[in-house]
Structure 1
Amino acid sequence: MIFPLPPNLRPHLAFPFVYLPSTFLVSLAELEALCTHLYIGTDLTQRIEAEKALLELIDSPECLSKCQLLLEQGTTSYAQLLAATCLSKLVSRISPLPVEQRIDIRNYILNYVASQPKLAPFVIQALIQVIAKITKLGWFEVQKDQFVFREIIADVKKFLQGTVEHCIIGVIILSELTQEMNLVDYSRPSAKHRKIATSFRDTSLKDILVLACSLLKEVLAKPLNLQDQFQQNLVMQVLKLVLNCLNFDFIGSSADESADDLCTVQIPTTWRTIFLEPETLDLFFNLYHSLPPLLSQLALACLVQFASTRRSLFSSPERAKYLGNLIKGVKRILENPQGLSDPGNYHEFCRFLARLKTNYQLGELVMVKEYPEVIRLIANFTITSLQHWEFAPNSVHYLLTLWQRMVASVPFVKSAEPHLLDTYAPEITKAFITSRLDSVAIVVRDHLDDPLDDTATVFQQLEQLCTVSRCEYEKTCSLLVQLFDQNAQNYQKLLHSASGITVDMAIQEGRLAWLVYLVGTVVGGRLTYTSTDEHDAMDGELSC
Structure 2
Amino acid sequence: AYFLAQLEILCKQLYETTDTSTRLQAEKALVEFTNSPDCLSKCQLLLERGSSSYSQLLAATCLSKLVSRTSNPLPLEQRIDIRNYVLNYLATRPKLAAFVTQALIQLYARITKLGWFDCQKEDYVFRNVIVDVTRFLQDSVEHCIIGVTILSQLTNEINQADTTHPLTKHRKIASSFRDSSLFDIFTLSCNLLKQVSKNLNLNDEGQHGLLMQLLKLAHNCLNFDFIGTSTDESSDDLCTVQIPTSWRSAFLDSSTLQLFFDLYHSIPPSLSPLVLSCLVQIASVRRSLFNNAERAKFLSHLVDGVKRILENPQSLSDPNNYHEFCRLLARLKSNYQLGELVKVENYPEVIRLIANFTVTSLQHWEFAPNSVHYLLSLWQRLAASVPYVKATEPHMLETFTPEVTKAYITSRLESVHIILRDGLEDPLDDAGLVQQQLDQLSTIGRCEYEKTCALLVQLFDQSAQSYQELLQSTNSSSMDIAVQEGRLTWLVYIIGAVIGGRVSFASTDEQDAMDGELVCRVLQLMNLTDSRLAQAGNEKLELAMLSFFEQFRKIYIGDQVQKSSKVSLIHVHKTGPKHSHLCSL
TM-score by length of 1: 0.94
1:529 to partner: Cα distance: 5.6
Match of 2:75 among 98, 107, 110: 98
Counterpart Cα distance in 2 of 1:431 and 1:332 = 24
Aligned position for 1:113: 90
Aligned 8 A contact 2:112 2:127 in 1: yes
1:123 to partner: Cα distance: 0.9
Aligned position for 1:377: 353
Aligned 8 A contact 1:293 1:345 in 2: yes
Aligned position for 2:570: none
Counterpart Cα distance in 2 of 1:460 and 1:180 = 34
Counterpart Cα distance in 2 of 1:479 and 1:192 = 59
Specify the code of the residue in structure 2 equivalent to 1:54. L
Counterpart Cα distance in 1 of 2:170 and 2:246 = 22
Aligned position for 1:210: 187
Match of 2:169 among 188, 192, 209: 192
Counterpart Cα distance in 1 of 2:448 and 2:295 = 31
1:231 to partner: Cα distance: 0.6
Match of 2:397 among 392, 406, 421: 421
The Cα offsets for residues 277-306 of structure 1, whole Å up to 9 and x where unpaired, read as 111000000000001111111010000000
Aligned 8 A contact 2:158 2:173 in 1: yes
1:353 to partner: Cα distance: 0.7
1:410 aligns with 2:397: no
Aligned position for 2:248: 272
The Cα offsets for residues 224-251 of structure 1, whole Å up to 9 and x where unpaired, read as 2111111100000000000000011111
Q: Aligned to 2:301, what secondary structure does the other structure show?
A: helix
Q: Aligned to 2:365, what secondary structure does the other structure show?
A: coil
Q: Aligned to 2:355, what secondary structure does the other structure show?
A: helix
Q: In the TM superposition, what are the counterparts of 1:145-294 in structure 2 within 5 Å?
A: 145-222=122-199, 224-294=200-270
Aligned position for 1:305: 281
Counterpart Cα distance in 2 of 1:214 and 1:467 = 44
Specify the code of the residue in structure 1 equivalent to 2:181. S
Q: Aligned to 2:423, what secondary structure does the other structure show?
A: coil
1:397 aligns with 2:373: yes
1:400 to partner: Cα distance: 0.4
TM-score by length of 2: 0.87
Counterpart Cα distance in 2 of 1:260 and 1:429 = 23
Counterpart Cα distance in 2 of 1:187 and 1:87 = 16
The alignment yields a C-alpha RMSD, in angstroms, of 1.2
Distance change >3 Å, CA 385–CA 529, structure 1 → 2: closer
Q: Aligned to 1:27, what secondary structure does the other structure show?
A: helix
Counterpart Cα distance in 2 of 1:475 and 1:348 = 31
Aligned position for 2:60: 84
Aligned 8 A contact 1:167 1:234 in 2: yes
Q: Aligned to 1:158, what secondary structure does the other structure show?
A: helix
Aligned 8 A contact 1:379 1:428 in 2: yes
Any gaps of 5 or more consecutive residues in structure 1?
Answer: 1-18, 20-25
The Cα offsets for residues 122-147 of structure 1, whole Å up to 9 and x where unpaired, read as 11111011111111111111112211
1:378 to partner: Cα distance: 0.2
1:484 to partner: Cα distance: 0.6
Aligned 8 A contact 2:277 2:324 in 1: yes
Aligned 8 A contact 1:311 1:359 in 2: yes
The Cα offsets for residues 2-55 of structure 1, whole Å up to 9 and x where unpaired, read as xxxxxxxxxxxxxxxxx9xxxxxx622221121122222211112222221111
The Cα offsets for residues 334-386 of structure 1, whole Å up to 9 and x where unpaired, read as 00000110001000000001111111111111111111110000000000000
Match of 2:324 among 343, 348, 369: 348
Aligned position for 2:573: none
Aligned 8 A contact 1:347 1:395 in 2: yes
Q: In the comparison of the two structures, how many residue pairs are matched? A: 519
Counterpart Cα distance in 1 of 2:431 and 2:419 = 16
The Cα offsets for residues 451-507 of structure 1, whole Å up to 9 and x where unpaired, read as 111121111111111100000000001000111111111111111222212221221
Aligned position for 2:580: none
Counterpart Cα distance in 1 of 2:115 and 2:485 = 66
Specify the code of the residue in structure 2 equivalent to 1:132. A
Counterpart Cα distance in 1 of 2:29 and 2:145 = 35
Counterpart Cα distance in 2 of 1:97 and 1:187 = 16
Counterpart Cα distance in 1 of 2:95 and 2:507 = 67
Aligned 8 A contact 1:262 1:358 in 2: no
1:258 to partner: Cα distance: 2.2
Counterpart Cα distance in 1 of 2:443 and 2:271 = 36
Q: In the TM superposition, what are the counterparts of 1:109-148 in structure 2 within 5 Å?
A: 109-148=86-125
Counterpart Cα distance in 2 of 1:361 and 1:57 = 61
Any gaps of 5 or more consecutive residues in structure 2?
Answer: 521-585
1:189 to partner: Cα distance: 2.2
The Cα offsets for residues 34-81 of structure 1, whole Å up to 9 and x where unpaired, read as 112222221111222222111111111111122122212222211111
Match of 2:27 among 51, 69, 78: 51
Aligned position for 1:432: 408
Specify the code of the residue in structure 2 equivalent to 1:100. E
1:540 aligns with 2:530: no
Q: Aligned to 1:385, what secondary structure does the other structure show?
A: helix
Specify the code of the residue in structure 2 equivalent to 1:343. P
Aligned position for 2:417: 441
Aligned position for 1:32: 8
Specify the code of the residue in structure 2 equivalent to 1:76. S
Q: Aligned to 2:297, what secondary structure does the other structure show?
A: helix
Match of 1:73 among 25, 34, 49: 49
1:256 to partner: Cα distance: 2.4
Aligned 8 A contact 2:4 2:46 in 1: yes
**Which moves more between the two structures, 276-285 or 503-512?**
503-512
Aligned 8 A contact 1:261 1:355 in 2: no
Match of 1:295 among 262, 265, 271: 271
Counterpart Cα distance in 1 of 2:128 and 2:37 = 29
Counterpart Cα distance in 2 of 1:479 and 1:421 = 18
Counterpart Cα distance in 2 of 1:100 and 1:152 = 18
Specify the code of the residue in structure 1 equivalent to 2:144. C
1:518 aligns with 2:490: no
Q: Aligned to 2:128, what secondary structure does the other structure show?
A: helix
Distance change >3 Å, CA 426–CA 306, structure 1 → 2: same
